[in-house]
Amino acid sequence: MTDNISIKKDIRSFCIIAGDHSADEPGSQIVHALKNKYPQCRVFGIGGNQIAAEGTDLLFHSRDTGFMGFYEILMNIPFIRKMFKTVKNAIRQWKPDAILLIDYPGFNLKIAKWAHQKKIPVFYYIAPQTWAWKAKRNKQIKKYVTHLFTIFPFEERYFSQFGIKATFAGHPLANKIFSTTYPPIESLKLNIDPNLPLVSLLPGSRKQELSRHMPILKETVRILKDKFPSWQFVISKAPSIESELWKNLFQGFNIPVYSGDVNRLMANSRVIAVCSGTASLQAAIHNKPMVIFYKAAGLTYHLGRRLTKMRFIGMINILAGQSLVPELLQHEFTAERLAREIQSQMLTFSHRTIKQTQIAKQVSQLRVDHSSDKIIELILQDLQG
């Protein structure tokens, strides 16, 4: 894709900041595309196991940086200051030709401002959702970001109206899922019967989420097992979750644990109960019956509800502008309610062809082939000026 571009400048050093666990995989694909073109390029920054596996020198691991909500950020201010200082020192030392920020706007926009002052080109992938809240950030993006790469088609139009250079680059989940054939349920190597219904539980990837969600999920499974003995349940453990924390929270939860590629689990599930976030869109791309849930700290939830402009929390509902899948938030997220919604999805979703068609239509628009190569190509073009 880049053969017809006259490249005068090599990228010898590159900084990537992917502080959220969900940014690890798309970030790793971009680093892979960069390393394919410039094998000797030094890449450093913040990320997870997959970004590290592509040859990135990690300053911090995303398992330690994925804070969620006002209260959690407040409690970790000293650590966040340490992160900011460390990243700035590394940028001074290794002098990157460009910086790629992925999501993580509270931290990344501060880095963008500082880097802009140092005349370092800043690129941004997975845009801050200013169309939902904090629209004032658009001024910062316009001032500090050279090029914004969006993951939803409507975002390119939205950001462009503020004078921001924006390009829809495709959603990394859609790009991957639509181009992959997932093996049958036997490949999961779990002690389950492939002929019986499987309900998958995705409790989240952050410590705070797990501590609030796990007790409710345990009781939900108990209710449904009593009512439907033939149903099977599997819970997904994100790689970023520390083993000791998981062991403590998982006590008394007598169901199989899956810690592999969650797409394999989703592809073989009859119903998915999923923590709000990236994974809920993932489930929608698989077009599986699902229920979205979330319980935040009280202060975080109430402030968030006052600040946001959105009616929904699940991205598939936001894209469609209507409730295609149920959402259970805060006090509505109880074991009894979740059990009832899972039962409803299990028994009736297969007949809801209209909703399935609407979901398929929304997610089909998210795919862009060779997305990571396209992003690197556009970065190179911008660096040539």
**pLDDT tens digits, the chain, 385 residues: what are they?**
444 444 446 899 999 999 998 899 999 999 999 999 999 999 999 999 999 999 999 999 998 887 766 667 778 889 999 999 999 999 999 999 999 999 999 999 999 999 999 999 999 999 999 998 889 999 999 999 999 999 999 999 999 999 999 999 999 999 999 999 999 999 999 989 999 999 999 999 888 889 999 999 999 999 999 999 999 999 999 887 888 999 999 988 999 999 999 999 999 999 999 999 889 999 999 999 999 999 986 555 555 555 566 678 899 999 999 999 999 998 999 999 999 999 999 987 555 678 889 999 999 999 999 999 999 999 999 999 7
Residue 358's H or E segment, with its range, is helix 353-364
Tell whether pTM > 0.85. Answer: no
Taking CA atoms, 152 is separated from 125, 166, 280, 378, in Å, by: 11, 11, 15, 17
- Same-domain status, 226 and 329: yes
- Concatenating the DSSP letter of every residue in 194-213 gives TTS-EEEEE--SSHHHHHHH
- The whole-number pLDDT of residue 5 equals 43
Question: Is 28 within the bounds of a domain?
Answer: yes
- Same-domain status, 359 and 373: no
Sign of CA dihedral 282, 284, 289, 290: positive
Question: Is 73 within the bounds of a domain?
Answer: yes
Question: Is 180 within the bounds of a domain?
Answer: no
- The whole-number pLDDT of residue 207 equals 83
Q: How many domains does the chain have?
A: 2
- The whole-number pLDDT of residue 4 equals 45
Question: Is 102 within the bounds of a domain?
Answer: yes
| DSSP alpha helix (H) spans, 204-297 | 207-227, 243-250, 262-267, 278-285
- The whole-number pLDDT of residue 225 equals 97
Residue range(s) defining the domain that contains residue 248: 185-364
Taking CA atoms, 331 is separated from 108, 206, 212, 291, 301, in Å, by: 32, 20, 12, 15, 11
Structure tokens at 148: 């914004």
- The whole-number pLDDT of residue 205 equals 84
Give the SS3 label for residue 278: helix
- Same-domain status, 226 and 209: yes
Question: Is 272 within the bounds of a domain?
Answer: yes
CATH number at residue 115: 3.40.50.2000
Pick from 52, 90, 129, 166: which is nearest to 310 by CA? 129
- Same-domain status, 164 and 231: no
- Same-domain status, 154 and 60: yes
- Same-domain status, 246 and 360: yes
Pick from 202, 201, 212, 218: which is nearest to 301 by CA? 212
- Same-domain status, 65 and 189: no
